[in-house]
Structure 1
Amino acid sequence: MKKILSGLLLVLMFALVQAPTAVAWTSVTHDDIVDEVYYALPADAQHNLSLEIMRSASDDPDFKFFDFSYHHYPASYGKADYWLDQGELAYKNGDYNQASYSFGVASHYISDSFDAPHCVRGTTGYHTLYEIQATALYPHITFKSGNLKSLMASGYNKGGYSWYSWMASRDSSYVQDDLNRATSACYVAINKRI
């Protein structure tokens, strides 16, 4: 029985290491990022926006659009800005469900840009392990100002350092820092559009 369980565990670990790496943060991580952003917004925005719709939309680029080309900066910036524009317009017009949806999608493109495996090449296998480690962490907003394009460019640059440092140590603090930067950038971008 022990041999069978050991064999199954080995097969599972191999499957995880070989899993496709186009998807970035898991849907759980995207939900956590949206939760943190939503609850940091002003009370009137929380009243107007739907957390449920934002959460559902936050993984649509992966599971509904099957858009695996725009998860890296600078391409992700254009997608994020488009969805932020859509969200801002809908919010100003009182279409809060559409605003919620658009901001949820925008959060995906923004946050994926801070996912360290998306900032370097040659991450196959370990990419998935990095993101699995992220599911055990919770993102926090650590800054509340900045220009989105600059924040995303900085996140991309810091992502390379995070990746190589994490590869050498598997220290979850690098993943936590990336999550925090991603969440903070999402907050800054969405808060400016409401």
Structure 2
Amino acid sequence: MNKWKIGFFLLAGIVAAGISAVILLLSSSPESVPLPDKGVVDVSDNVLTVKATKENLEGIANTYIKKAMKGGPLPVTMKVSDEVLLFSEMTMFSLTFPVIMHFDPVVREDGNLILKLSKMEIGELNVLPSTILKILKDSVQLPTWMTVRPKEEEIFFNLAEIPVTGNLQVRAKTFNLAEDEIILEIIIPKK
């Protein structure tokens, strides 16, 4: 066999192995990340109730995300309308695609927030939402208080872990975007 044929088949094998590895990586089922136990708030602590608008929440969320990224480029931007939207970009094979994820917010009993994925747009591509969330989890250094859970198609916000000045903690009480009713509680420990 001539050396050009051997080189061609070797190169074709390497390309096929690379494409297979990418497909295997994207199609592997993501592991589930456990959520923290529901915390208990000390009833003797002082609680300040704050009513926020969608615009207030959007600004606060983007400020904390940007601060957690430590001045690097902001790969994720949040917009709050009748649903929560996360905007990002995905680069594959030197092409950049806009990614828009639509979420429905759910307040947990402990005051933390879960964003359940309802719809996803990635240019004209048809990709499983859990795959995009897995790529987001693996490729973007998100703040420690944001947990991407690809298998459940959700993002968990541990509001108690958001670094607020002093020893204050935040928790969500009501999160009704249709009525523009967002009520947060600021817990001020007596100790």
Larger RCO: Structure 1 or Structure 2 (Cα < 8 Å, ≥ 6 residues apart)? 1
Structure number with greater Rg is 2
TM-score scaled by length of structure 2 = 0.27
Q: As a proportion of its length, which structure holds more strand?
A: 2
Structure with bigger helix share is 1
